[in-house]
Amino acid sequence: MSGNIEATKRFYLEFLGFHLVMDMDWIITFASPSNPTAQINVVVNQEKIVDHDQAITIEVDDVDQLYEKALEMKLDITKNINDEPWGARRFFVKDPNGVIINVMNHSDENP
């Protein structure tokens, strides 16, 4: 849900590079450019979403490049980029609705 649909569009379009595939004023849908069946729906709502642990994981080709972009855009990074023992490199960032996104990729050795 989103109480700020324009900020939500900016986050998913400009930061993550998704495509806006549906906008019906009360619901919008974003699709992955490389896998159009991977989609995120956001319902327009005026209620504030309570902060919570990560809700969505998005695997990307270049997690370091997106981390730098998040810093440049002054996004709310809740966990700095790091390498996990199981082969993932990731960071957490809040979208404009308070949803924590796990932005990550796997090393070639541990997909």
Amino acid type, 20 = L
* Full-model pTM: 0.68
Q: Is the pLDDT of residue 31 over 80?
A: yes
Let me know: does 40 contact 27? Beta carbons within 8 Å. Answer: no
Looking at residue 64, its pLDDT comes to 96
The residue among 101 and 48 whose pLDDT is bigger is: 101
Average pLDDT of the residues in 53-81: 91
Kindly indicate the confidence band of residue 73, based on its pLDDT and cuts at 50, 70 and 90: very high
DSSP strand pairing (88-94 vs 100-106): antiparallel
Q: What value does the mean pLDDT take over residues 76-92? A: 92
CATH 3.10.180.10 is right for the domain spanning 5-106: yes
Domain ranges of the chain: 5-106
- Residue 33 banded pLDDT, cuts 50, 70, 90: very high
